[in-house]
Chain A
Amino acid sequence: MKGGRQRIEFEGVSAQIRPETVSLSAPDIAIVEQNFDFDLLTPAKLMEKAVGRDVTIVRVNPATGAETREQAEVLATNGGVVLKIGQRIEVLRDDGLPVRVIFDKVPDNLRARPTLSVTIDSARAGTRAASLSYLTPGLGWKADYVALYDEAAGKIDVQGWITLTNSSGTTYENAQTLLVAGSPSQAASPGVTAWRPPIRRPTLEQAGTESGSRERLGDFYLYPLPERTTIANLQTKQVGFLDVHGVPAEHGYEFRNHWLATSDQPLSAKSIYRFSTSAHAGLGDQLPAGTLRFYLRDKRGEPQFIGESRIDHTPMGSTLSLATGDAFDVKVKPVVDKRTRVNERGWTTDMRYELSNALDRPVTVTVLQDGLWGDSRISAESQKSTRRSADTAEWTVSIPANGRTVLTASFDTRF
């Protein structure tokens, strides 16, 4: 930079830069002002800015091809360009004949892309490194996991990939990249109400209490990419961060019935895989939020996809229970057998759950009945339940190979 007051333009910043978050720092400079110019160079704008100025027009005679060159003053551009040529007033291309308009310069503040400029006061002249930082939307990342389940051994191999996406409109060349796991809160933009995600099946069975060796930023974990990399516009980039083999995993079934839900046909139970992220007999790492895809080898030994589940940021030492889809052969038919009004303030509901298993091995299904609101009592049941929470009762039901089991329960409720 030169000494004294000057303007520096920064090209190639993110096309979606939040200009209010820009900060520039360099030795021996003082910032006078920061500007973000978003007046873009388009034919219409250029014509608009040329009002009161002279342009060159070139008429092309459609019969002979001859060109006639004239100077014209632009008088107005309101819905049509009005020109003053000599003493005549004309409307540009009102007759539809070819006319080229040639401008001799572009006004300073019209640009191809929005441009960031900073006016600084430099104490001395010379080259020195300056750093510019800003926030931009359009960049994001999540984790993607690949889990290969070994049915015979009851073990999974898990690989984790960080998936970085760039739709910010700019390519970041040779960048040192650091990923933050966790969601730094941001003030909502004006007029935007926060979107609430729908309630999902909880995947975190028990939150972990172990600390990992990863670098932290406050309560967030940092995942630095191992080396500088170019993140092109509209690029999806994946870098591996986890590769664990032979982690013990359990496979089970779960069926959740909502209060008073009754069905005249059997409904599939969910197929559940459960494993730990603990350092002992687990993945031994905290898991950034993302999607876990399960694979299983078919009879020929080829891995086949069997479903996926999203996980939230998961601390180390947690127990995860993930649903991959519906079981074809394990089904539950929930039936409201009887609803009796006992008195003004009470009902008795007799529930029957008909469980069936078309597999040639016995299975265990976790049956959940929710909607108990805490003031419901189970007055009779065919096997002992546990109350997972005030709202939910849980039974662990075994079904023999190619067999059926019936579970019954009576609930005393106020509704």
Chain B
Amino acid sequence: MPARRSGWLLVSSGAAVAGLLMSASSESQSSIADARAGAPSAVSVTVYRDPYRASGSIDLDRLAGFALITETRAVDLREGESWLRFEGVADGIEPESAIVTGLDDGIIDKNRDAAVLSPSALVAAAVGKPLLLTRTNPKTGRVEHLPGTVLSDAEGGVMFRSEQGIEALRCSGLPETLSFDGTQGLRAHPTLSVRIRASRTLIETATLSYLAHGFDWAADYTATLSPDERSMDLGAWVTLANGNGTGFPEARTQVVAGRVNRESGEVEPIDIGGPIVANCWPRGSTSDVPMPLQLDLRSPNPRQRGFMKAAAAPIATGLQEIMGDARRVQQEQLGDLKLYRIPEPTTLASRQSKQIRLLDRTAVPVVTVYGIELADDENSPGTVGGVPASRYLRTMNTEANRLGIPLPSGHVEIFAIRQGRHLLVHESSLRDLAVNEEVEIGLGPSPDVRVDATGTGRSHRVEISNARAAPIGFELKLRLRDGAHIVDANRKVETKDGRPIFRLTLPPHSTAVVRYQTAVSP
């Protein structure tokens, strides 16, 4: 009995179990007009960093940040009920975050259909429906169009019934293909739509805003050390990237610094589609069992496990566009975050990374410090031999130091000028630094300053050698075992961040020896 189902559905959140009641009584659904919202205008894109990425540059192969996209669209609806479709939204849209405003209160529901048009989806939708099988005789070229019905597409094999009988698709060795009657309502991309009931003809401007993944941004700093290593010039770019297949022309663009909380919720269901798989019966000899053709079209994003998960925005490749110095971002406070606004609308194309100047500061005073941290616990008794010490650049983020601005996390390249050329010294990273915080940029290990440490239980001897032609400041930090403290030392010991520290100055081409004894309280 092909009765129209008119049932009810009971859905519970946690358990995801539904009950369905079907009855033969039927209630016909009134016809709904199909309307399309106009092309986006007045687009705004705000890019947020990947909240779980360590400080440093963005990775174009793995853009795990996100963006808030706001756009306005012209809407023309007739009186009554309509499906209003929004086309051309970002592929990485998180549909549950979509907000539509400006359409009075007539919205009944918001929908995102993730069943996309693909060969396998066409066959699945055609089961039981009439279509044409086209078979070409390879010798004579004679083309035979055979009307019939797909009986099944289960487990990747397609069965077809025509007036000639029942056959399996592509099992005969002859070229065979199916041609379908319409696209069964499937579309190229997941579609966002709202069902709306208008009390009058509506010609309005609707605002759509949503979060979408497949974006990221970071600050990229270049620090150029002066020849005397007492100051540096600090410049920075905002590097942002869009890994989506959708571009945002003439968009107002912002980036937000600071870590925002994201919940790693369930990803909405999506069917990424696939080819028509035509598995056959075993044929030929026993050794000739063909493997079915199975392509994995899912995106290899490690965050997304399981089958019914959304594909991430595709891997970014593409052009880099660098802008002139004149255009610099403007910073403003956004709650507890920092918002950087790109001063004029810009086009953020699909799969593009873009750089805008963040800041330029010259002659920032810095101090170069050498140091090492020695652990003295059960696992390592604090013995090292000939280890190069680390080198740091230090300054305070204050106006007196020609800084005094929030410094968003990013990658730092440190250059020194020799013979008029910029030479790369080291690459490092910065965390989010507020005003008045200490800035410390690692310069990597220094082969000229080495540390030898020997320890016998409680007595320790540390020898530091300086092969440089300049005096250096050196910090020896100790990480003692729980409850231990220094009882005797041949030099002045201080405490920094709850840990003992020796601060030394080594003349050029010299060595210094630190001796200390530790004891554990009772």
Contacts and interface: CB of A to CB of B under 8 A. Distances in A.
Contact of B23 (A130, A136, A165, A251): A130
B181 interface: no
A211 interface: no
B27 interface: yes
B297 interface: no
A308 B263 contact: yes
Nearest to A263: B497
A236 B95 contact: yes
Interface string A238-254: 11100000000001000
B142 interface: yes
B29 A174 contact: yes
A251 B161 CA distance: 67
Interface in B303-344: 308, 332-339
A132 B8 CA distance: 10
Contact of A42 (B154, B289, B520): B154
A141 B211 CA distance: 19
Given A128-B24, A325-B258, A175 B9 contact: yes
Contacts, number: 422
17 contacts: A42-B155, A47-B282, A60-B174, A91-B283, A129-B25, A131-B21, A179-B11, A236-B268, A238-B109, A306-B335, A308-B262, A308-B263, A328-B336, A328-B406, A358-B406, A358-B434, A358-B437
B74 interface: no
Interface string B5-27: 11111111111111111111101
A202 B499 CA distance: 33
Interface of B: 1, 4-25, 27, 29, 44, 46, 48, 51, 68, 70, 95-99, 107-115, 127-128, 137-140, 142, 151-159, 161, 164-168, 171-174, 195, 209, 211, 254, 256-263, 265-266, 268-271, 279-286, 288-289, 308, 332-339, 406, 431-432, 434-437, 482-483, 485, 495-499, 520-522
Contacts of A106: 151, 159, 161, 166
Nearest to A311: B263
B284 A141 contact: no
Interface in A16-64: 40-44, 46-48, 56, 58, 60-64
Nearest to A102: B165
Nearest to A306: B335
Contacts of B159: 41-43, 46, 106, 112
Contact of B498 (A10, A167, A262, A324): A262
A40 B174 CA distance: 25
Contact of A112 (B108, B151, B286): B151
Contact of B24 (A91, A129, A161, A305): A129
Nearest to A273: B335
A132 B139 CA distance: 55
Given A63-B139, A106-B151, A177 B8 contact: yes
Contact of B29 (A180, A220, A230, A402): A230
Contacts of B25: 129
Given A79-B282, A251-B335, 19 more contacts: A40-B155, A44-B282, A96-B284, A103-B165, A112-B127, A129-B24, A135-B19, A141-B11, A164-B11, A179-B10, A229-B108, A232-B115, A235-B112, A238-B109, A264-B496, A268-B259, A303-B209, A305-B256, A327-B336
Nearest to A18: B17
Interface on chain A toward B: helix, strand, loop, or mixed SS?
strand
A106 B256 CA distance: 62
A276 to B, nearest CB: 20
Given A63-B139, A132-B20, A306-B337, A228 B27 contact: yes
A138 B15 CA distance: 10
A385 B168 CA distance: 78
Contact of A339 (B9, B284, B337, B482): B482
Contacts of A304: 46, 68, 254, 256, 334, 339
B205 to A, nearest CB: 15
A298 B236 CA distance: 24
B174 A305 contact: no
